[in-house]
Structures are given as structure tokens and as C-alpha cells.
Structure 1
Amino acid sequence: MNFKKSIPYLFASLSILTISSCKKDNEKALLLQPQTTESLKNNGKDSLTVNDTLLLHPKLANTKNAIYSWTVNGARTGSDSVYTFKAVNKGDFKISFKAATAGGEITVDYQIHVWDKYENGFYILNEGWFGHGTGTVSFYRYNTNKMEDSIFVKENPAKDLNPVSSTLQSGVVFKNKFYLVSKVGGPMVVTNEYNMKELARIPSQGGNDWRSFVGINETKGLLSSGKGVFPVDLNTLAIGRTIDGIGGQVGDMIKQGGYIFVLSSTDGIVILNAADNKVVKKIPGVSVGFTRTIDGNIWAAGGTKLFKINASLDVESITVPFTVFGSWGAWHPGSITASTKENAVFIAKNESFSGGTKLYKYIPGNDASLQAPFLMLPTGKILYGAGLSYNAKLDQLLVNTVQSGFGENFSVNNLYFYDPITAAIKKTVSYSGYYFPSVIVSHQ
């Protein structure tokens, strides 16, 4: 046999076998169904904020000659193996990816929630440094654990909260609107609850001394002030005549059932019929309010008493082991709040204006719960403004402090996140600046 002549034939045969084998391998690959090679994080569930982007890229095998498609809530949006989702609008989005070959297809689903710009967090309303500038609105974002400053002016660059002599003192969320209330000649501004864009305002004016807002229904609300309570038309923001029967300065207000509870410097609690604003009852001796426990009772305090008012307007008083001070000399919202998970009230032991270092927790029916402070602030820290607020989303007690002392001490700010059961500090956020925080406002 001539081996030299046989070699070309041998190579030719091997080549045919190799080509045949490769062809079969290719045909086999084409008939394999695409598969995922790793599980989706959190089962494909994720969230982001309006204007953010999210890159989606499922890891796959067996994708030779695959055809890809992406849909968002059923509408086709892409044909690549990766997709960048741009969060344009808030809401829930189902994003589906499909890879198809001759061997079959696979679908991967993502569930994405888009938060509005200032939805995934809470607000802090700051008085501002009196005489140096107006108050500001800060926002704490849950997913970044950071504080964002001056968001009202950032979202409304042509607007302001002047005059500089005014202080931004309180804020109330009502029917997807955010009511920002200023003292000392300042405006009352209405913004969108979630994006902070201004919708309307009661202009600044000498003699204005607004304190707080309470919504009654879609068209009616009340504004408290240093000289009484005024009805306000929520469509036009027109102010009505002062409500009769309420004396002195008026601060916090809250609605429960068919009643409005109003705090007066001279009358204590004045309870109004929400239908006609007529006085139903007065409860003297009260200087701090208001909060609502999960059983529907309204709570306030004054002197050495904590007051519980039920649906029938019956009053029960509980003795507390300290004197409860109001803030009529330089008013700020009351240093009292309540849990939405357990039946419990939290109240600060403030000095004559603010500056407390101890918080008490009262569990209704358990007088022993008041025998000692629930928590004491870290050394050198004191409350400022309302100082405390219960956050239902986190199930934590939020506490604002500044440094004890004067001058530069007021620029040392700490926001503490406390466990409402154990009083353990879960987190601390420190930031600098002359903010003078008045009140924390969470989405309802």
C-alpha cells in the first residue's frame, strides 16, 4: 500500500468527519432551549426613583442565534440582550425579557416600583437661622440613607419663603398636597406631596403669623395663627373670618371623626364641630398637643398631666413625673407622638422652650411605664423644635437634636433612629449647618 498517496485521503476523511461532527454539534446547539445561569436578585423585584435608570441583563446559556425582546407593561421596548429602564413616571412596572431559538424560548420577568422624586423618605422642616435667611425643607431618602438639603428652592427656583425674618414652622400632608406653614409674616405654601412643585400660596404679608394647618375635606381647612383660627378655602386659598370662641395664640390642630381639636394659649384645648366650626367643648390646662394612638384616642399634655380624649370627648388625665412646658414664647409643634404599631404615646420632657434630654413612653393602663424615662439622649445632645416623630414605615422613633450650648453648637445636628420598644439607637445621621429643625413630616 502506498502510504504517501493514502495520507491526503485520510485527511480528507477526517475533515469530512470533523465537519459532519461540527455540523451536528451546531444543529444540536440550535435545538437547545435557552436557560438562565443565575437566579435574579430578590426574585427580580427592585425599586428606583423617577429619573433614575436601571440596567437589566439576565445571564443566559444556549443563546446561539437567539432573538431577544423586551416589553414594559406589555409594550415592546427593546430587542437586545440588555435593556436600560428609564424611570420616567412613578408606579409599578412589569418588565418582561424573552430569548427565543429554534430549540425553544425562555421568559424572565422583573417587577419594578418607581418612587416619585420625594416619596421614598421623609421631610424635615427647618426654621432657618432667624434674620439670616428663611426656613428650608430637607429630605431624608431611605435607599441612600442621606439628607438632601433645600429641596423646595431646588424644585421651585423662581420661588422663595421670604421674608428672611419668617420661620418655616410646620407642615401637614393632606390629600396628596403638602402645606408648608410659616410664622412672622411668611407665606403658607401648597406643594405636591411627592415632587415638591409649588401649586399655590397665601402670600407673605406683615401681620401674618401662621402656625399650623388642618384639612377638613376636599374644599375646607383651617389655619391657626398667633391671633386665632381662620377657615381657608382649599380651592382658592381665600381666608375667612376668625372663628369665634378661641382666644390667644393658637398652635397645633388635629381632626378626629367629626371634631377638630385646637390648642390655644389661653383656653387649652378647644374642640370644634368640623361641620360648622362651632365650639363644642374646652379642656383647660393643656399646653402641648396633639397625637393619636391606634385605638383612636387623642392625646395632649400640660402641667403634670397627660390627657386622653375618647370618641365621646370624655377626658382622662394621667400624672406624669415632670412638668410639661409649652412653647408659646417661640412656638413650635408639640413634642408628642404615638406609635402606629402598639398602643403607646411618646412625650419629651422639655425645658421652658425646648432643649429636653429625656423622652417618656406611656402605655395606656400601665402607669408604671412613666416611672422612668424611656430614653435619654446621648451626652451633650438636646432636642430642638418638636424634636420627635414616630415613623410608621420604619417603625422607629425619629429624634432631632442640636449640641447643648449656644452659638456654633446650633450648627451641630444629629438625627437619631430609635427602636420604639428597646430604645436602642438603630442609626445616626450627623450633618452641619444652622438649620434649626422644627418638625419631621412623613408620608401618611
Structure 2
Amino acid sequence: MKNQFFSKQLLAVASLMMLTVSCNNDDDFTAPPVIKGEQQLKDTLTIGKTLQLSSKLADRNNVSFEWAVDGKVVGSDSTYVFKPETRGDFKVTMTAKNGGGNVSLTYDIHTYGAYENGFFMINEGWFGHGTGTVGFYRYDTKAIEDSVFVKVNPDKDLKPESSTLEFGTIINKKLFLVSKVGGPVVVADAYSLKEEKRIPAQGGNDWRAVVGVDENQALLTSGKGIFKLNLSTMALNGQIEGVTGQVGDIVKAGGYIFALSASKGVIVINASTLAVEKTISGMVLGFAVTDDKKVWAAGGKNLISIDSNTLEVKEIPLGFQANGSWGAWHPGSITAARNDVFIAKNGSWSGGKEVYKYNGTAGSLTAPFITLTNSNILYGAGIGYDRKKNTLVVNTVNEGFGENFAINNLYLFNAESGVKTGTISFSGYYFPAVSVFHQ
């Protein structure tokens, strides 16, 4: 009995000790940090801007922090201000620690170049009164920034004032600006807009458009044929044999280059040998390239497709007269959205109010896709396709002369439905030439 009594006492004491230890452990327990919401986040910003990142913790008491950018520790506060110096993709990681453990949060951030999150507006300028300009429409602000090239390059210009800036394109991540009437050809970084090279302005220059052949060579059209251009040195290395007179729009598709000649129509050039392989007469308007690698042009009352593999040509009745712009050249009022083709019904030079969309069926050309209202008329190329936003970009001035040319509108239309999604009105004698988009 005595042993049983002592056994019961010992059991009670042991139970009390276990209860005491258990209660003490509960009091000392520290819960690890907890993040509110997702632990893998994405964001974007443009160089020159900052982004304040939060730890997203439910409770920051007694927590230490560590921030790292691509593995390099950069901060120890509960928040971090990210200010990138280069464009690209960054992984910013926050690690929060306390006595109970740690938790991590990752931001995947894409940093746009200063002139990447939007598109360029190339303006020919007011002939004799000033040079052409480069504007930039920014997606996030939905605003146009004016004369950005000279703002980035204050020691550069696009003179002479007698020249007109008529064409732009992006080749190998470089923005090419091409001027007529004695002006320069300028190459700038497509993201920062810093000038890198140029063909200087000089009397006798009369450039039109440019297309890349490969990483090292391009073709530059002019009032006097097509010139071979070394992209490294910006030196001209002769011309395409057999091509003379005014040549304007030019594109590359498949193994061929397609150029539009005022006298010969479409000239097809082998991209490897740079020899002329075919001409298609009667064409005055070009070019659009659809995703199926067909090249589109127009002449007379026909739209044509050219298979860039076989060079087979097919005619599609337009229902109206196609007009080019050889009298005062500007890029063609035709563009492609995936496998659809948009073409403006212009006057003898420019100034149309209707844009048609060909989707592969004859019925699609029986009525315009877009009809401009009020006094708006297209100017320059007038239309362009923004693939990133699936948007048809339309530039207009007011019909008439004089001050009407200073009344500008930039319209954005959904390329599928034709619904207008944006309008920006602005004033000034810009004379829009063509829109240039990052791909």
C-alpha cells in the first residue's frame, strides 16, 4: 500500500511538471512571418522611374528584412525602392525572418527602356519652316511626348529645314530615321533613342525607306534607285543593278525583298544574291506583310498578294481606285494585322476618309471598316498596326489648307471590331508620316 501511495504521488508530480513545461513552451512559441496574398508577384516600370516594393507582411513586429536583386543583397528595410539602371528582367526577393522562421516574397519585374512602352510617331515637319520630329505615344500615360529625339540628343538635329523626315523603322533593335530632300539617315538605339550613327545630310541626298537584309547589310531606297548600306559603318556599297528612278516602300519576307518603283511597280529582289528576279507592273501602293508570309500591294482597282516562297501573285478586286504618293512621296497607306489587310481609300495623293479591311473574303471589301467623321482626313501613311495592343493606329489632320493642317488627331481602333478605343487631339504643324512599333 505504501509503495502504491508513493507511486501515485510521483505520477501526480510528473504530470504537473509536464503540464508546466507544456504551458511554458506555449508562452515562448513564435509564429513565423506571414505574407498577405501571393508570394510571386509581377510588375513593370520604365527606366528613370522608381517602384516602391512592400514586404506584404501581416505583422512586422520583431521581424528583420533582407532585399536582394538577382541574388545581390541591396536593403534591410521593410520596404525597398527599386530604381533600375538598365532595361531587362529583374528578380527582386524579400526575405523576412523572426525567431519562428522565415518567409520569402519574389517580384519579377520587367524594366522598359525609356522609349519602349509605346510607339513612335514620325512626323515629316513643316517644309521650309522646321525639320521633322519624332513623337512618342506612351501606353501607361496615354499621352504623346513631343520632339523626343532632340530632347534625348540635344547636340544633334535633323536639318536642313528643307528636308522632310518621312520614314522610320526598327532594324536589329535600332530605330532608323530616313529623310528626303538632302536630309540625313539617323540610327538611334530603339529603347533609349540615343543616336549612334548617321549618313550626314548633304545636297543630293533623297532617301525614302530602308529594310534590313541581314545583321550586317540593309537596302536604302531613294529618288535614284536602291543603295546597299553597310550597317556597321553606314557606308554605301553600290546599288542594285537594273533599278533606277524613284523607289519608295521596301520590305523583306521569306528569301525575297520587295520594293515599290514609280516606273516598274513591285520589284522582287533575291535576298541572297541581291539580283532582281521579277517585276509586277501597275502597282502603286505597298506594302503589308501578313503572318502567312504573303506580301500585299495594290494598283488600279486590285489588291494583290504575293507568296514570298513561290512568288505566285493573286488578284483581289478592291472596288475602288488604289492611289500611291509619287508626287510627294510618303509611306504607303496599307498595313497588316495577323492575316488581315487594312488599306486606305486615299485621294490621288493622300486625304482619304475610309479604311477597308480584307479578311480573305470578297464580302469584307464591300463596305469600309472605318469611316472618319467631321473634317478628319488621313495624312501620310495614315494607318499602322500595333501588334502589342491589337490596335489600328490612325493619324489625321483636317481637310482643307493652311491652319487645318495644324489640327491633328491620333485615333486608336480595335483591329478586330473597329471600335474606337482612344482619341488624342493636338495642334501644331507636324504633318504625320508613319507610326513605328516595337515588335
Same fold, TM-score > 0.5, yes or no: yes
1:73 corresponds to 2:93: no
Report the CA distance shift for 1:353/1:397 in structure 2 as closer, same or farther (over 3 A).
same
Report the CA distance shift for 1:160/1:30 in structure 2 as closer, same or farther (over 3 A).
farther
Match of 1:363 among 351, 355, 359: 359
Match of 1:235 among 219, 222, 232: 232
1:403 corresponds to 2:401: no
Q: Post-superposition shift, 1:30?
A: 7.0
Quick one: which amino acid aligns to residue 369 of structure 2? F
Say whether the 8 Å CA contact 1:30–1:65 is kept in structure 2: no
Distance across 1 between alignment mates of 2:28 and 2:320:
79
Distance across 2 between alignment mates of 1:100 and 1:429:
50
Which stretches in structure 1 are left out of the alignment for 5+ residues? 1-23
Distance across 2 between alignment mates of 1:29 and 1:99:
20
Distance across 1 between alignment mates of 2:211 and 2:100:
64
Q: Post-superposition shift, 1:28?
A: 4.5
The residue correspondences of 1:374-413 to structure 2 (distance < 5 A) are 374-413=369-408
Distance across 1 between alignment mates of 2:102 and 2:58:
11
Q: Post-superposition shift, 1:29?
A: 7.9
Say which SS state the counterpart of residue 379 (structure 2) adopts.
strand
Say whether the 8 Å CA contact 1:247–1:267 is kept in structure 2: no
Distance across 1 between alignment mates of 2:183 and 2:228:
18
Q: Post-superposition shift, 1:62?
A: 3.9
Say whether the 8 Å CA contact 2:296–2:304 is kept in structure 1: yes
What are the superposed Cα offsets for residues 230-289 of structure 1, whole Å, 9 maximum, x if unpaired?
111112111133322223211001111221111000000111112222111110000000
Say which SS state the counterpart of residue 35 (structure 1) adopts.
coil
Say which SS state the counterpart of residue 240 (structure 1) adopts.
strand
The aligned residue for residue 16 of structure 1 is none
Say which SS state the counterpart of residue 404 (structure 2) adopts.
helix
Match of 1:344 among 320, 323, 340: 340
1:334 corresponds to 2:329: no
Say whether the 8 Å CA contact 1:49–1:116 is kept in structure 2: yes
The aligned residue for residue 8 of structure 2 is none
Comparing 158-167 and 97-106, the one that deviates more? 97-106
Distance across 1 between alignment mates of 2:141 and 2:424:
12
What are the superposed Cα offsets for residues 96-141 of structure 1, whole Å, 9 maximum, x if unpaired?
1122111222222211111111111111100011111100111111
Say whether the 8 Å CA contact 2:336–2:342 is kept in structure 1: yes
Match of 2:218 among 221, 227, 234: 221
The aligned residue for residue 94 of structure 2 is 97
Say whether the 8 Å CA contact 1:29–1:62 is kept in structure 2: no
Distance across 2 between alignment mates of 1:173 and 1:29:
64
The residue correspondences of 1:143-158 to structure 2 (distance < 5 A) are 143-158=140-155
The aligned residue for residue 20 of structure 1 is none
Q: Post-superposition shift, 1:49?
A: 0.5
Q: Post-superposition shift, 1:44?
A: 2.2
Say which SS state the counterpart of residue 320 (structure 2) adopts.
strand
Distance across 1 between alignment mates of 2:438 and 2:141:
18
Distance across 1 between alignment mates of 2:260 and 2:59:
70
The aligned residue for residue 424 of structure 2 is 429
Distance across 2 between alignment mates of 1:176 and 1:65:
49
The residue correspondences of 1:94-243 to structure 2 (distance < 5 A) are 94-243=91-240
The aligned residue for residue 7 of structure 2 is none
Q: Post-superposition shift, 1:408?
A: 1.6
Distance across 1 between alignment mates of 2:407 and 2:113:
30
Distance across 1 between alignment mates of 2:57 and 2:261:
67
Report the CA distance shift for 1:43/1:76 in structure 2 as closer, same or farther (over 3 A).
closer
Say which SS state the counterpart of residue 435 (structure 2) adopts.
strand
TM-score (norm 1): 0.90
Comparing 260-269 and 423-432, the one that deviates more? 423-432
Q: Post-superposition shift, 1:39?
A: 2.7
Report the CA distance shift for 1:325/1:83 in structure 2 as closer, same or farther (over 3 A).
same
The residue correspondences of 1:36-51 to structure 2 (distance < 5 A) are 36=35, 38-39=36-37, 44-51=41-48
TM-score (norm 2): 0.91
Distance across 1 between alignment mates of 2:262 and 2:56:
66
Quick one: which amino acid aligns to residue 359 of structure 1? V
Distance across 2 between alignment mates of 1:111 and 1:30:
34
TM superposition outliers: structure 1 runs of 4+ over 6 Å: none
What are the superposed Cα offsets for residues 363-420 of structure 1, whole Å, 9 maximum, x if unpaired?
22x1111111111012211100000011110011111111122222111111111112
Say whether the 8 Å CA contact 1:178–1:190 is kept in structure 2: yes
The aligned residue for residue 318 of structure 1 is 316
Say whether the 8 Å CA contact 2:46–2:114 is kept in structure 1: yes
Say whether the 8 Å CA contact 2:382–2:434 is kept in structure 1: yes
Say whether the 8 Å CA contact 2:328–2:349 is kept in structure 1: yes
Which stretches in structure 2 are left out of the alignment for 5+ residues? 1-22
Distance across 2 between alignment mates of 1:62 and 1:196:
45
